[in-house]
Homo-oligomer: A and B are copies of this chain.
Amino acid sequence: MTRRTYGQHCGLARALEIVGERWALLIVRDLLVGPKRFTDLRNGLARIPTNVLSARLKELEHAEVVRRRVLPRPAGSVVYELTEYGGELEEVVLRLSRWGSRTLGEPGPDDIVTVDSLITAVRSAFHPEAAGGPDVSYELRAGEIVIHVIVGGGRLDVAQGALPGAGLVIETDSPAQALPAVGTGFAEAVAGGGVRLTGDPALLRRFAEIFHH
């Protein structure tokens, strides 16, 4: 394995040698949501060849961005998780995500939306300075994908799964509809139809204030 370098003694070049290879930052994106097994990563990155996933994980492990951990009995399985150094990529990933979201066109016929990409989209659209005031919670149902969003004490918590008792449930037919809607705080999406709301409709305005590109 001959390292592919840029021939520059430079922080950015170094960073790109670590996480600039194809698929690497998408792996980091999914691991930022939580530790995952090989197969979980494979499912979240549908089009990645397994040898590439395997190679990336080894490289990221070698660079101490990712740690391979064997779960204690009885699970005994293997999970990959970010090291502290790897976790410090969060800001970069969220900023890149927001930057790219702005020119995200229509989804291609084969484009998928995964749970982790939706969670990342919500996190990247978060504006802490608008998150003061009373706590609020949402449940987002986008096709098969269900996540919940809790804003409390100016902080954000987004994770997979339903949230019984959420202040507002926002539901779209497909994940692809939800994605641009997160970027506009669902304002346009609701006006344009195709979004169903259950709960306190006033919380939608609040969502738009807290989340937008």
A interface vs B, CB < 8 Å? 5-18, 20, 22-23, 25-26, 29, 45-47, 63-64, 85, 88-89, 91-93, 95-104, 107-108, 110-114, 117, 120-121, 124, 175-176, 179
| Whole-angstrom distance between the Cβ of A83 and the nearest chain B Cβ | 11
A80 to B176, CA, bound (A): 35
This chain: copies in complex? 2
B7, B25, B112, B113: the one contacting A112 at CB < 8 Å is: B7
CB-based contact A13/B99 at 8 Å: no
| Whole-angstrom distance between the Cβ of A67 and the nearest chain B Cβ | 15
Residues of B within 8 A of A117 (CB): 8-10, 12-13
Residues of B within 8 A of A111 (CB): 5, 7-9
Interface centre among A92, A96, A108, A117 (most CB of B within 10 A): A96
B5, B25, B98, B176: the one contacting A16 at CB < 8 Å is: B25
Residues of B within 8 A of A10 (CB): 97, 100, 104, 113-114, 117, 120-121, 179
CB-based contact A98/B9 at 8 Å: no
A112 to B121, CA, bound (A): 37
CB-based contact B113/A46 at 8 Å: no
A117 to B12, CA, bound (A): 8
CB-based contact B113/A12 at 8 Å: no
Chain B, Cβ-Cβ closest to A101: B11
A7 to B113, CA, bound (A): 9
Residues of B within 8 A of A23 (CB): 6
Residues of B within 8 A of A8 (CB): 26, 45-47, 111-114, 117
